[in-house]
Amino acid sequence: MTHPDIPTVAFEPRSAIARTLVERGYVNQVTDLEGVDGAFAAGIVPVYAGFDATADSLHVGHLMPIMALRRLQQAGHKPIVLIGGGTTRIGDPSFRSAARPMLSEGEIAANVAGIRTVFERLLTFGDGPTDAVMVNNADWLDRMAWIDMLRDVGKHFSVNRMLSFDSVKTRLEQQENLSFLEFNYMILQAVDFLELFRRTGCRLQLGGGDQWGNIVGGVDLLRRIEGAEVFGMTTPLLTTASGVKMGKTAAGAVWVNEDRLSPYDYWQFWRNAEDADVVRFLKLFTDLPLDEIERLGRAEGADLNVVKERLANEATALAHGPEAARRAQATARQAFGAGEAAEGLPTVELSDAERLKGIGLVDLVVRAGLASSKGEARRAIAGRGVRLDGEVVEDAETIVSLGEHPVRLSLGRKRHAVVK
């Protein structure tokens, strides 16, 4: 699903990599279909995608352009990861109802250090012609003189045209404040493309669907200043089949960094994918061949749960390594049983003190909503109806302590909760 204000463009490519990008679902809009297709076929194309350092981890919503860079590198092209150490100081206003919080230089530096690790898992960095490189736009934006920027770059931008882009127009139509600071973001992103073209010969910018206006501005700037034929491509802004924005859950963002979200919880996010999303996610977020994904997509019923585990394993292995994926699967099967997911079960989150000291089983059963009173909980325990991770607990005075991983609390055969 794409952003409602950005129509998907039909793309019928000739080059193998362009065809792969389309078939797997990475392409939303392209500035010049035939041009970028021909560039792919002619030789190595340096391609960049930018990521502002607004947090110390990326979340799964950021993975689309990173996985597109991965596909391009697999096909023999050169990924350039641009970290927005400079542009983070302003904040991209695209399709936002309010300005981003202003971060200090120290906060930005810490965030830059945090997000680097994600790219190192998914891309191969080095000095070779197709090895990925990482750059920080603070290296040139922090040194840019204001008068020079106005004279050399600003004169090429039409305010009339900038106001026509949906990302700006939406804010203005809804009478939401758009600061002059934010209004300059589009120009600075265009300067990034210009700088990377001069430094590396970069000819393609990738970005999410909400970046279309900014990307077009960069392509136009390079044509005006350098007379260069460069291209822009957007990936779709994804929502799940139920309409939830990709990377968001009821519990918050699905972070990729291990110190923000454990590999186990990351694995569970993919395992809990809606049925209608499984094939699409396999195409976008795993390296499985398309013919194998087509075969897996024919699964139904209990077999579909097996496919969801395959999705979780493959996606987690890319972000955290194969061993982390294996451990997460083993933990999930121990806690919930093969073929079951935790999504939709009541969840009890223990405080640090409760985790260390333990909590009475009777209190836990009531807190989980499996019994309406302590008396009912005691009767269920006495009747051998309460289980922890599948094992019957007969002593109502049992103190439950929790280690690193969640446990499953059950009353009878059909009532379950997750304790974590």
Q: b/e string for 110-128 if b means 16 or more Cβ within 10 A?
A: ebbebbeebbeebbeeeee
361 CB-contact burial (10 Å; exposed 0-12 / middle 13-18 / buried 19+): buried
Residue 171 and residue 169: Cα distance in Å, rounded?
A: 5
H or E element: which one contains 111? helix 105-122
DSSP line for 127-152 = SSTT-BEEEETHHHHTT--HHHHHHH
Position 175 pLDDT exceeds 90: no
Whether the CB-CB separation of 348 and 364 falls below 8 Å is answered with yes
Q: Please state whether 344 falls in left (phi above 0), alpha (psi between -120 and 50) or beta.
A: left
> What three-state secondary structure class fits 51?
strand
Residue 136 tokens read as 């920080």
Confidence of residue 391 (pLDDT cuts 50, 70, 90): confident
pLDDT, one tens digit per residue, over 28-61 is: 999 998 999 999 999 999 999 999 988 889 999 8
Query: How far does the chain reach from its first CA to its final CA, in angstroms?
Result: 33
Give the residue among 408, 401, 405 at the shortest CA–CA distance from 387: 408
Rg for the chain (alpha carbons), in Å?
25
**Rounded distance, CA 29 to CA 233, Å?**
6
Q: How far is CA 174 from CA 3, 94, 120, in A?
A: 18, 14, 40
Cβ-contact 18, 40 below 8 angstroms? yes
Q: Is the whole-model pTM more than 0.85? A: no
What angle in degrees, to the nearest 10, is found between the helix axes of 212-226 and 166-173?
Answer: 130
Q: Which two structure tokens, joined as six digits, stand for 148? A: 């020079």
> What tokens appear for 353 in the block?
């003190």
What domains are defined for the chain?
16-235 (3.40.50.620), 262-336 (1.10.240.10), 347-419 (3.10.290.10)
CB 382 within 8 A of CB 396: yes
Rounded CA separation 170/95 (Å): 7
Are residues 117 and 54 in contact, defined by beta-carbon separation less than 8 angstroms?
Answer: no
Q: For the chain, give the number of residues.
A: 420
Residues 6+ apart with CB under 8 A from 121: 318, 319, 320, 321
Encode pLDDT of 254-272 as tens digits: 889 998 888 988 998 899 8
Q: What distance in Å separates the CA atoms of residue 316 and residue 5, rounded to the nearest whole number?
A: 32
The closest of 373, 356, 355 to 419, measured between CA atoms, is 355
Band (pLDDT 50/70/90 cuts) for residue 2 is very low
Cα(62)–Cα(60) distance, integer angstroms = 5
Q: What is the per-residue pLDDT across 269-310, written as a single tens digit (0 to 9) for each?
A: 899 888 999 999 999 999 999 999 999 999 988 899 899 999
Give per-residue pLDDT as tens, 210-254.
889 899 999 999 999 999 999 999 999 877 777 777 766 544 678
Question: Dihedral sign, CA of 237, 242, 245, 248?
Answer: negative
